[in-house]
Each structure stands twice: as C-alpha cells, then as structure tokens.
Chain A
Amino acid sequence: MARLIRTEKEVEGRYEEVWLVVEEDSLDQWPAGPREIVGRDAVRIDGRERATGQAVYTADLQKPGMLHTAVLRSPYPRARVTSIDLAPALALPGVHAAIGPGDIEQLTADCSFQGEAVAAVCADTLGQARAALRAIACEFEVLEPLLDPDEAVRRGSLLGEARERARGDYERGLAEADVVVEAEFRTQVVLHNSMETHQAVVEWIGEGVEVHISTQYIWGIRDAVAQGLGLPADKVRVVCRYMGGGFGSKNGPDEYTFIAAELARRTNRPVKCALTRREENTAAGNRNATIQRLTVGARSDGTLTALGGEFVNAVGWSGWSSGTEGPMQMLYACPNVKTVTYGAKLNLPPMKAFRAPGFVEGTFGLEALLDELAAKLDLDPLELRRRNHTDEAPEGNEYSGKNLLECYRRAEPHWERRHDVRARSTETVKRGVGMASQIWYGGGGPPSYAWIRVGSDGRATVVTAMQDIGTGTRTAMAQIAAEELGIPLEHVTVTLGDSDHGPYATLSAGSSTTPSVGPAVRAAAADAREQIEEIAEQRGLKGASVAEVVDVLEDAQILGKGARGPNPTGKQVLTFGVQVAEVAVDIETGEVWVERIAAVHDVGRVINPLGASSQIEGGIIQGIGHTLSEERLHDPATGRLLTTTLDAYKLPTIADVPEIVSELIDVPDQHLTNLGSKGLGEPPIIPTAAAIANAIRDATGADVRQLPISREEMLRALREAEARQKEKVGAPAGV
C-alpha cells in the first residue's frame, strides 16, 4: 500500500523536509548472523569484466562521428575576460564548433576561481581540439582575489548564513569545568582524484538527449540536464554502467556536460567532454580546508561539561558549508555545546562532497582535542570516551541502533598493544598508539525501487536504475535477491546504470546505496518468491526449488517489484565505530609511518564481509593520504594552484599501506528496513586522521594541530612539546 508521508531526507549530513510516497515494508528482518548467501563473502559479480578491461566506462565510449572537446579555463583565481576571438580556432583543421562566454550559462567572462570555464572547442580529434584552444585569442584583466578564509568571514563574504547550534548553557558548563583545553586545528584542501576523470558523451537523438556520464547519480543528472536544456525529464536518458570512482565529486552534471550538450546540438554529432587530470585537480571539486577553534571543559574525572567551537569552512566560490561541527554536536553526552560554522566564499575552486564531508575534518579536531584533555587529566583516552558515551541521542530523539560500546570493547585487544608498541621505541624513533571514535549518517531512505524477473530457467535478473561506483553494490543486490529467492548467487544478474532501464534508485553518496536500494531488492525478490510459491502449490511441488517450480513456464516470466519503505519515525539512524592506529615517528627528521590500523565499525547487518573489508581498507588508506601526504596547495600571494599533477599531489601508493585489521559488529539495526543494514562507504575514513594524530601524541608527547602532518608540522609540534617540557621542569631564568 502506497502512503504519502512528510519526512526528513538526509544526504551527506544535510537534511531537508520532503513529501514522499512510500510503500510499507511488510517483510520481517532475517535473524542476525550469516545466511546462505547474505552475510557471506562474495566475489564481485562484475569483477571479471572490470579486471579484463571489458567493462566499458564513459572514458571508453567511441561513438561514430564523435567529436572531442577542449575547454579554455581561467588561469587566474579572479579575472575578467576583456576580449575573446574564437575565429582563429574555427579556422583550424578538424574543428567543428567553438563556444564562448554567454553562449551557455556555464561559460563566463567573469571568472571567480582558477579553472572556471570560459570557452570550448570541439574537433575530430582531441589533439585538434587542443590546438584550436591555443589559437583562441583571449585577454584577461587580472583582479585581486579573496583567498583568506578568516578575512572572508570578517568581510561577510559567506555562502549562506553562519550556522549556530547550541544546547544547554555553554558558559555555565565552562564555569563548572575543572580543566579547560583550547586548541586551533587546521585541515587542508584534499582532491578526490577519481581515476576516471569527470566526463560525459552527449548526443541529441530525436527530441531528446542521451547522456553517458561518469556519475554517482543518474537520476540527479537526468533532472539537472532536463532543467538546464529545457527538456521534459523523460526525454533525457542517462547511462552509467561502470564508473571509475567518484568519492562524492560526481553527483551533478557540472559545466562539462552542458558544454558537450551545446556542442552536440550545434554539430549534430555525439560530443565527448572529458577533463584532463590537471583540469580534474583544478576545478572538479575538493574537500575544502577548515579552521577549527575548539574548546573543551571537563571535570577532573573526565566528564565533559562544555564543548564549543568556531568552524570556518573555506568553501571556495560555491558549494555548501558542510557539517564540520557535527561530531562535536553528536558524538558525546556533553550537556552544554555551542558551535558556530561559517562558510567562507573565496576565489578558490568550489568544494564538492568528499567521503563524509565535514565529519572527517571535524573528527580530527574534536578527537585530537579529547586526547589533549586526556593527557591533561592523566586519563586513559579510551576510558575518557567511555565516560562520555551516551545511549540517548544528546539532540533529543532516540537512536535507531547504536553499538559503539561494543566497538570499544572489541577495540580493547588492539588498544592493549600500546604498551608493547611503546616499548619498541628507540632513541630517535618513537612509537605509540592512538584511537578515535566515529559517528556519521548512513541509513539511506526512500524512495528507491527494484524490479526482478525470474525465467523458466530459474535464473533472475534484478533491474534497478542505481549505480555501482566501485563499492560493490551490484554484488550486494545480487546476494540479497539470491538469498530471498533461494537460488545460487551465480543465477542472479543485476542491470543498473540506465535511467531508461528500470525504476528510480537513490544516489550513490552518503553511504546510502545499500541501505536504500537493498530493501527494495529484497521486497521485489519476495514478491517474485510469493508468486513462485503459489505456482508450486498449484503444481503440488510445495518446498521444491525455484528451478523445479518454474521449469514449465517456457517464455513466461515471474515479475516482482519492490520499494524501499520509510525510515523509523522519530529515530536517528547513524553509524558508529572506532579505529586504533600505531605509528612510528622519527623525532630527528619528523617522518611519520603508520604501522597498523585496527578498525571496528557498526553499520548494522553486513551483506558481503569481503566487500565490506575492502571498503574499510580503502577508507583507511584514503584517510592515511589525507593525514600524511595529500595537500592541494595554492600560492598565497596570487592564489594560483600548485599541485595539479599526480607527481605534485601525493596520493598513497601500495608502499604506504600499513597492516589493516577490519572488524564489523554485524548486528542488524532492528528498526531499520527489512535488512537492518546501514552504509559503509564513508565511516572508515572518518576517524583515521585523529587516531594517527593521537598515536603521535602517545609516541612523542607532541600535539599536531594541522593536516597534513608534514615533517614541518611534526617538527613544529615536537619543538613545542620540548619547550613545554622544559617549562614544566623549570628551566633556570635567563637561559
């Protein structure tokens, strides 16, 4: 039965109230624990296609007559185009069309960040398009950029209003504290660097367009393209069967899709617009930098009495101010919390969501601050967190399910290793262990739908227009369908990634695909199973296998459909976890090695433990890059970007990977859908930086306050710790 409800919809920590038609979720959850197929390791059902190079990504599309595009982008953070002449480009061989400022909304003469698109050319080959681009005569008047986030806040250059959130009486909480710790933390700009750059191939067919695009959200692209081109949404087909990573950066069509659409319209040919790696690392989104000025007050037993923070998100020219204050608001029982968050509007390339936006940054600040407090109080950091644990959501409504204490319990053996790890320190290489907690969303929500068809061969095809961005959701859906139908996993295929094939499914962001689409797939499979059981009854084959029951159907098919039911009313659906890091620090050079990370996460029922462990490892490895080596740098004087290539921007390699131990609580959230599963894409990257910073403190006594923890930052923190130590033992006056 369909029902109209008013509900909160959450994506990447941002809530909006929406009207939704939901169908009731009438299936009981399976009992906890591994089933025949669900809860057991499954290799990716599309692993071979991807490994052999047969999987066709957007980057691999070759359409007859397809033209290639090069885009002229502003080399300056702020500049005005004073003159532009496209004619010399159009005169060159192979060139079919050129467009400039004003031809479409996405091309501009007023450039507000480096990489903003000014003009574009398409030609038979990419080489010809690039040569034509160089022939465009374009003059810029360079203007003074605004680059400093604090300066932007002072001047009122903000994206949206400052966000103030408070509970209790912060000032009174501070007054009640025995100890107060204040610290300023800074995090850097991090680049997504998906291996497949942002790109689209657009072709006008009949009255509509076909858009092949590397995206995390085919339905979002469909709507945005329809709106941008003034078409009915059903005249826009969006296809993405395989895509080479997104990490939050590929939720929208961006400028390149509209450039390709306009050039395709003008030339009546399919047109590809693909970003180069350098364009990707200039203007295709980033995790924005933050400044966090934090305060914690606590009683001498460690009970938190006040938490406060001023957060500045250096958003860039556009985007949104992510929930950097979220962990401070949500993680602990503290009764008095007051935060203010500013989104600084700057002449820097816009941010985009990047794997748990805000919470990665905010957890680094909060959890490093908590360990500074633990050190001051001479308390065990794990014990400090236990003392401030809460099973009642501090913001009011109940948790749908929370097993953070169990995560702490499971982390104990890893935490206990710290005595042995410290003992392996030498004169110049100090070792230590640190931990950090994790809180994030990941419950998904309606709407999402799935269809299923079962043929007379007893094989099933799941049809749903979702994406698999590399997280293994295609395989998880096959497992759920196979489990519900009672057929082997090899007998299920999954068709996805095409808005013309199958019903709506949610975006692959916010750790939402499995918890949103999975229950719909199970409902569709249950619908088909019930029909098969009816046929079995009529054939006197009750209890027989699906294949035996349907083998007389010839070309007839059993069709099932399913929808994602509502989230539990009045409950917060969140994910939790803890990570324990072991590090070695060379105190002479400032070099830091991560030697081991143990992760324990609570995401409800686990569909595929093998795929889940891969998600955890991948999140941790990105987190290590974020903590130690990755940084998008700009020249502070001119704002010009300095790290657009992969030799300048340091991604982790296989040689940087420590031992990683991953564990999952694997208890279904009993209030959440017919599966009790939450998402796991984002949680593992959240606590990594803080756990490493806290391990560094354990090893050396130094408080690192900035990401990445470069050798410079490490040596600064070591010198500061040394000075503090000298002060403590009382250096003679005048020395």
Chain B
Amino acid sequence: MQLTVNGHQYDVHGEVGTTLAEALREELSLTGTKIACGEGHCGACTVLVDGEPVLSCITLVHAVDGARVTTIEGLRAHPMIDAFVRSDALQCGFCTPGQIVSAVALVESNSTPTTEEIRHAMAGNLCRCGAYPKIEEAIRTWQG
C-alpha cells in the first residue's frame, strides 16, 4: 500500500487487520497519534484522511490505500498548537494530539465556530483531566 503522510509518500506493509493507528505508530514511528481505547470510543487516535477526521484505531490501513493522511506531526506549525498551549488546554496531554487534529478539522471548514459548533465537533474527543473549558477557549481564539 501507499500512503501520503504529512506530505511524504510511504510504502506500508501492514498485515491484514493492521489499523491505520498501528501502521502510523509502529511502522512509521509517528507516535504523536495516541491509542487510548483502541475501539473508537475516545477520539485520541484522530487523524485526517483526505482532510476528514477519522478514528485511526478502528480504520484498517488497507481501507485507506492511496489516501492523504495528516497526523499531529504534520500540524506542528499550525496556529492551533500555540492556541492550545496559550490557553492551557491540556493537562496530562495524552488526548491532546487527537483534540488538536479534531479542532483543526473543524476550523479548516469553519474558521469561526460558535460555542455550540465547537461542542458538537469536539464531543467525540474525551479528556479525563477535564481540560474542556480551555479546549473550547483555544478553539475560539485559535487565530490569536
């Protein structure tokens, strides 16, 4: 299979049943994408596939052959990173890459989301530390 990840082309050899999250983390050593539940319930593994947020822990890598994938490593220069740090929108930080990928997907399609739109778009990303108020603030103020 071929994947374009953060602008670079890779040949990926995952066995049948390998998830996109496993391929990214284990084969490409892109460990910024986290696996927290492994069954699509928490959002920590969120990446962009052809611009759309997907749960990479329940996406088989074979199902996205040829796709363009953006992970947190591809968003290092995105202003959303600074917005999260500035707003203190993270505590332990384990869910944060997934939060940021979901937030970027939101603002790429709607650069000034309302509180309701933020809550709707982000409700699938769990944060056990409860950084939610500041995640909301970071997304509201992401343009600085």
Contacts and interface: CB of A to CB of B under 8 A. Distances in A.
Q: Do A and B come from one complex?
A: yes
Interface centre among B30, B85, B125, B131 (most CB of A within 10 A): B85
Contacts, number: 168
Contact of B92 (A49, A127, A194): A194
Contacts of B54: none
A613 B137 CA distance: 13
B73 to A, nearest CB: 6
Contacts of B39: 277, 645-646
A311 interface: no
A36 B36 CA distance: 39
A277 B36 contact: yes
B129 A53 contact: no
A276 interface: yes
A384 interface: no
Interface in A59-77: 59-60, 62
Nearest to B95: A195
A277 B131 contact: no
A101 interface: no
Interface in A169-223: 192-197
A213 to B, nearest CB: 15
A225 B123 CA distance: 40
A126 to B, nearest CB: 8
B90 interface: yes
B38 A276 contact: yes
Nearest to A128: B15
B85 A618 contact: no
Contacts of A193: 128
A460 to B, nearest CB: 22
Contacts of B122: 653-654
Chain B interface residue number, banded: 35 or more
Nearest to A62: B29
Given A645-B39, A653-B123, A654-B118, A195 B92 contact: yes
Chain A interface residue number, banded: 35 or more
A466 to B, nearest CB: 15
Nearest to A475: B88
Interface string A26-68: 0000000000000000011011111111111101101000000
Nearest to A608: B88
A57 B94 CA distance: 8
A124 B132 CA distance: 38
Interface centre among B93, B95, B100, B132 (most CB of A within 10 A): B93
A560 B54 CA distance: 50
B113 interface: no
A373 to B, nearest CB: 31
B92 A470 contact: yes
B111 interface: no
Given A196-B92, A277-B39, A48 B123 contact: no
Contact of A614 (B38, B91, B97): B91
Contacts of B25: 60
Interface in A435-475: 469-472
Contact of A277 (B37, B76, B85, B118): B37
A308 interface: no
A62 B133 CA distance: 34
B15 A127 contact: yes
Given A51-B93, A470-B129, 13 more contacts: A48-B85, A52-B75, A52-B76, A127-B17, A242-B93, A243-B92, A244-B34, A470-B92, A622-B130, A653-B126, A654-B119, A654-B122, A655-B119
